[in-house]
């Protein structure tokens, strides 16, 4: 049974920020440390820093010849069943690193000289050069190390969707950057059928098809060796006569693999020590075009039916304080549908200023192109977080609502926000007020009313490129250029 079904959320994967896992079996998705390192959203940046801290400590202990302490770091990297992600069949059983695996993997790392020579700099490099570590093991290792980040994310999503949390549950071991050590605390956890569950942002999951030993071997190492054998005119060079009498020289990758004994991982490490520029090119090129999975990659659902359902809810949610919470969550679902993966990790009623102020909704800005990226990259508007104030009013919004959202802005948090409301009688007047706020350097605010929400949903239905870009840019121009 999926999380959404278990708690009767009446939301699909398109409307939820986390992977809507079935807690009775593993979903074949992975948390890829390399993908995390390429992302710019706050969750990924913090999680990646924690991973870097863990591996830096491991490298330090190895180079200080503190092998017992270094090996001990692996003993808390086992059985991360809480996410229900990975390769297991049937009930999630985990494929983490146990005591035997820890010893074997540690010895493989040491014998390969990957740490000593600096080839393995980060956790994700292990799956390229160390036998026994592949995408499932690195995903398990990553989950354990960043467990505290996943717990905090789970707590935020449960608060957002009113999913009950159980107090005083052991967190399981997680890595602390401040102490550079493992920790285990009692905290609020999502518990289903007496088992803790961790929710994972769908934006950070991956099938792990890019940063792999097979891809490095096939498209970089073998390409290099092909050119080398051709340049040296080695015994692997084959010749074929063209129709015009000239010869074409070529070397097959199959012949190189046979000549190199299959190019196992330890041979890849040896090659990389001798040709670090090839590995550098691999890392640089693989970092580009690494996108979040689409909703349909995770769960095939009828998009048109989802759009119809959201439109129906929008039409039937009555203005007024009695429906304020329902409207807030409807706005979350619509914005998730429209703006994923550009926005992620929504939180509701986020406290700032030591709890003296609250923001209705906050999203992490994960955009690398388009409107949300251009806010800071071109317009110089800080936008690490995107603020959304939801006003389920039966009356017009005016200056007090603008003042409210602008009071939440700061250079560190962000200075862009959306006022989501049901209707604005005089849109021109409201945009003029937003323009005054922008001219006074108090931040950029744009409105989205029910008619806009309907338009955005219809954009999603017809798969019209990147939904919302045209509308947001129009609103921004109407405010900034007035």
Residue written as token pair 């947001």: 472
- Rounded distance between C-alpha atoms, residue 364 and residue 447, angstroms: 19
- Within this chain, do residues 253 and 306 fall inside the same structural domain, yes or no? no
Question: Could you tell me if 456 and 405 lie in one domain?
Answer: yes
Residue 294 lies in a domain: no
Q: Are residues 54 and 180 in the same domain?
A: yes
Are residues 248 and 307 located together in one domain of the fold?
Answer: no
Longest dimension (CA), the chain: 85
Domain total in the chain: 3
Of the residues 206, 228, 256, which one is the last residue of a structural domain?
Answer: 206
What is the side-by-side strand order in the sheet with 166-170?
166-170, 186-192, 195-197
Enclosing domain of residue 343: 302-480
Which residue from 415, 401, 414, 408 is spatially nearest to 449, judged by alpha carbons?
401
Quick check: is 293 in a domain?
no
- The closest of 405, 307, 415 to 357, measured between CA atoms, is 405
- Report yes or no on 295 lying in a domain: no
Are both 67 and 162 inside the same structural domain?
yes
Q: Which of 206, 226, 249 is the last residue of a domain?
A: 206
Same domain, 191 and 242: no
CATH assignment at residue 407: 3.40.91.30
296 inside domain? no
For residues 392 and 106, give the distance between their C-alpha atoms in angstroms, rounded to a whole number: 57
Q: How far apart are CA 428 and CA 313, in angstroms?
A: 27
| C-alpha–C-alpha distance, residues 248 and 343, integer Å | 52
Indicate yes or no: pTM above 0.85: yes
CA nearest neighbour of 340 among 298, 375, 309, 283: 298
Give the pLDDT score at 478.
95
Instruction: Give the chain's residues under pLDDT 70.
Output: 79, 87-102, 105, 112-114, 350-359
Task: Assess whether 455 and 389 both reside in one domain.
Answer: yes
CB 43 within 8 A of CB 239: no
The pLDDT assigned to 100 comes to 63
Is position 433 within any domain? yes
For residue 95, the model assigns a pLDDT of 46
Tell me, yes or no, whether 334 and 242 share the same domain.
no
For residue 297, is it within any domain? no
Are residue 254 and residue 337 in the same domain, yes or no? no
Residue 269 lies in a domain: no
Same domain, 231 and 191: no
Domain boundary among 158, 173, 206: 206
Q: At what angle do helices 265-274 and 276-286 cross, to 10 degrees?
A: 110
201 with 328, same domain: the answer is no
**Do 241 and 140 belong together in one domain?**
no
pLDDT at 142: 95
Residue 129 belongs to a domain: yes
3-state secondary structure the chain: CEHHHHCCCCCCHHHCCECCCECCCCECCEECHHHHHHCCCHHHHHHHHHHHHHHHHHHHHHHCCCHHHHHHHHHHCCCCHHHCECCCCCCCCCCCCCHHHHHHHHHHHHHHCCCCCCCCCCHHHHHHHCCCCCHHHHHHHHHHHCHHHHHHHHHHHHHHCCCCCEEEEECCCEEECCCCEEECCEEEEEEECCEEECCCEHHHEECCCCCCHHHHHHHHHHHHHHHHHHHHCCCCCEEEECCCCCEEEECCHHHHHHHCCCCCHHHHHHHHHHCHHHHHHHHHHHCCCCCCCCHHHHCCCCHHHHHHHHHHHHHHCCCCHHHHHHHHHHHHHHHHHHHCCCEEEEEEEEEEHHHCEEEEEEEEECCCCHHHHHHHHCCCCCCCEEEEEEECCCCCCCHHHHHHHHCCCECCCECEEEEEECCCCCHHHHHHHHHHHHHCCCCEEEEECHHHHHHHHHHHHCCCCCCCHHHHHHHHHHHHCC
Q: How far apart are CA 114 and CA 112, in angstroms?
A: 5
**What does residue 231 show for φ and ψ, rounded to 5 degrees?**
-65, -40
């Amino acid at each position: 049974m999926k999380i959404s079904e278990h708690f009767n959320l009446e939301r699909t994967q398109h409307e939820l920020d986390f992977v809507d896992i079935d807690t009775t079996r593993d979903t074949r998705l992975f948390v890829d440390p390399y993908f995390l390192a390429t992302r710019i959203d706050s969750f990924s940046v913090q999680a990646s820093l924690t991973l870097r801290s863990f591996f830096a400590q491991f490298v330090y202990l190895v180079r200080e010849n503190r092998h017992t302490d270094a090996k001990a770091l692996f003993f808390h990297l086992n059985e991360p069943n809480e996410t229900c992600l990975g390769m297991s069949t049937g009930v999630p059983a985990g494929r983490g690193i146990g005591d035997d695996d820890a010893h074997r993997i540690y010895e493989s790392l040491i014998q390969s000289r990957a740490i000593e020579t600096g080839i393995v700099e980060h956790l994700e490099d292990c799956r390229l050069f160390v036998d026994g570590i592949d995408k499932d093991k690195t995903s398990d290792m990553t989950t354990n190390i960043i467990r505290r980040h996943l717990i905090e994310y789970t707590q935020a999503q449960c608060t957002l969707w009113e999913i009950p949390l159980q107090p005083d549950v052991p967190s399981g071991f997680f890595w602390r950057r401040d102490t550079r050590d493992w920790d285990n605390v009692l905290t609020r956890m999502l518990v289903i059928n007496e088992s803790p569950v961790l929710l994972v942002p769908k934006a950070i999951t991956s099938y792990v098809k890019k940063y792999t030993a097979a891809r490095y071997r096939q498209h970089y190492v073998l390409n290099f060796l092909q050119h080398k054998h051709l340049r040296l005119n080695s015994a692997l060079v084959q010749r074929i006569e063209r129709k015009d009498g000239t010869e074409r020289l070529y070397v097959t990758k199959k012949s190189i693999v046979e000549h190199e004994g299959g190019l196992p991982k330890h041979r890849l490490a040896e090659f990389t020590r001798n040709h670090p520029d090839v590995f550098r090119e691999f890392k640089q090129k693989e970092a580009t075009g690494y996108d979040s999975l689409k909703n349909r990659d995770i769960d095939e659902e009828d998009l048109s039916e989802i759009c119809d359902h959201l439109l129906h809810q929008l039409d039937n949610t009555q203005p007024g304080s009695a429906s304020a919470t329902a409207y807030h969550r409807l706005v979350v679902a619509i914005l998730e549908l429209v703006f994923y993966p550009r926005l992620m990790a929504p939180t509701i009623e986020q406290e700032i200023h030591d709890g003296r102020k609250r923001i209705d909704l906050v999203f992490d800005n994960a955009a690398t192109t388009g409107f949300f990226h251009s806010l800071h990259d071109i317009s110089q508007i800080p936008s690490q977080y995107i603020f959304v104030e939801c006003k389920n009013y039966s009356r017009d919004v005016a200056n007090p609502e603008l003042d409210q959202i602008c009071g939440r802005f700061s250079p560190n948090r962000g200075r862009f926000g959306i006022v989501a409301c049901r209707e604005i009688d005089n849109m021109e007047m409201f945009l003029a007020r937003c323009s005054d706020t922008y001219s006074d350097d108090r931040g950029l605010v744009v409105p989205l009313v029910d008619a806009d929400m309907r338009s955005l949903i219809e954009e999603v239905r017809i798969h019209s490129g990147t939904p919302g870009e045209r509308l947001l840019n129009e609103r921004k121009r109407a405010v900034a250029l007035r």
